[in-house]
């Protein structure tokens, strides 16, 4: 929904990172926080206008094979998300926090991310959420 022709002062246009943005967009009305996409030609609020056509836990509706499972490929980049609880988001956190947008979930993801003295970062999400683990994505999203 365009609410003006410019991005509000103090805000930046929303980065288009599909891993985060598509999950957030399709969660729409089920988000716990307001989410606005600031664009150079107006503001769009998917909370009000976008609904996923089906059960969002059906990962294979959009994902090919097991591409939604952890661990993710090491080549996946971080996501800069200046309006989130922390930024940048690691690849797994980016995908998960796209739907699970609460502060508690963000704290969990933040605590499972290490930044080493070299500047390299790593996520330990696959320890609990990887295939075969008690809280694997395929188990917690099972329909």
pLDDT of 41: 60
Predicted TM-score (pTM) of the model is 0.76
Q: Is residue 89 part of a domain?
A: yes
Residue 8 lies in a domain: no
Number of domains in the chain: 1
Does the structure show a pLDDT above 80 at 133?
A: yes
Question: What pLDDT sits at residue 49?
Answer: 66
- Assess if residue 54 is contained within a domain: yes
111: tokens are 């605590």
User: What pLDDT, in 10s, does the model give residues 48-76?
Assistant: 666 777 888 888 888 889 888 999 988 88
- Residue 3 in domain: no
Domain that holds residue 60: 18-140
Q: Is residue 7 part of a domain?
A: no
Residue 9 inside a domain? The answer is no
């Amino acid at each position: 929904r365009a609410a003006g022709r410019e991005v509000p002062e103090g805000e930046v246009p929303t980065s288009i990172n599909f891993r985060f943005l598509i999950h957030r967009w399709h969660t729409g009305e089920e988000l716990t926080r307001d989410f606005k996409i600031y664009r150079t030609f107006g503001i769009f609020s998917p909370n009000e206008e976008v609904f996923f056509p089906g059960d969002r836990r059906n990962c294979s509706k959009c994902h090919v094979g097991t591409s939604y499972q952890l661990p993710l490929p090491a080549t996946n980049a971080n996501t800069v998300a200046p309006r989130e609880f922390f930024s940048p988001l690691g690849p797994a956190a980016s995908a998960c926090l796209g739907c699970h947008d609460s502060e508690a979930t963000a704290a969990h993801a933040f605590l499972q991310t290490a930044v080493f003295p070299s500047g390299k970062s790593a996520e330990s999400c696959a320890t609990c959420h990887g295939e075969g683990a008690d809280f694997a994505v395929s188990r917690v999203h099972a329909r």
